[in-house]
Amino acid sequence: MDAPLDRPALERVARFFAVLADATRLEILQYLKGLPQAEACVSQVVQALGIKQAAASKQLAALADAGLLTRRRHGNQVFYGIGDEMVFAMCELVCGKLGREASGMLQHFAGASAIR
């Protein structure tokens, strides 16, 4: 059996899960996953999700800081893309745990278990 994690490691894990504990952030991940180019700028996220620009910027930054999104600058715009598809496998596990109640959610995250 693996050795237990020390307190600082547990705090890092908790911070990572805290990033995912936000419906808007999950919605952003789902939106980006569904795009053919798998990336979008802030204004595209704002338009697609109907949220304010400040909220989109804040949520995108939190996801990028956690390593779940990449950032690519093009001129004065920043494009965000999926940085680690492992997050979709995690979402599949959680949705599976929720059982029948989550059958609709599972369909949105299905197919992402092919981790790169």
**Rounded Cα gap, residues 56 and 26, in angstroms:** 12
For the chain, percent of residues with pLDDT exceeding 90: 66
Handedness of CA 107, 59, 40, 51 (dihedral sign): positive
pLDDT tens-digit series, residues 60-95: 999 999 999 999 999 999 999 999 889 988 888 887
Radius of gyration over alpha carbons of the chain, in Å? 15
**Rounded Cα gap, residues 3 and 26, in angstroms:** 31
- Residue 27: in which H helix or E strand, if any? helix 23-34
The pLDDT mean for the chain works out to 87
**Rounded Cα gap, residues 16 and 39, in angstroms:** 21
Domains and CATH numbers, the chain: 23-83 (1.10.10.10), 85-116 (no CATH)
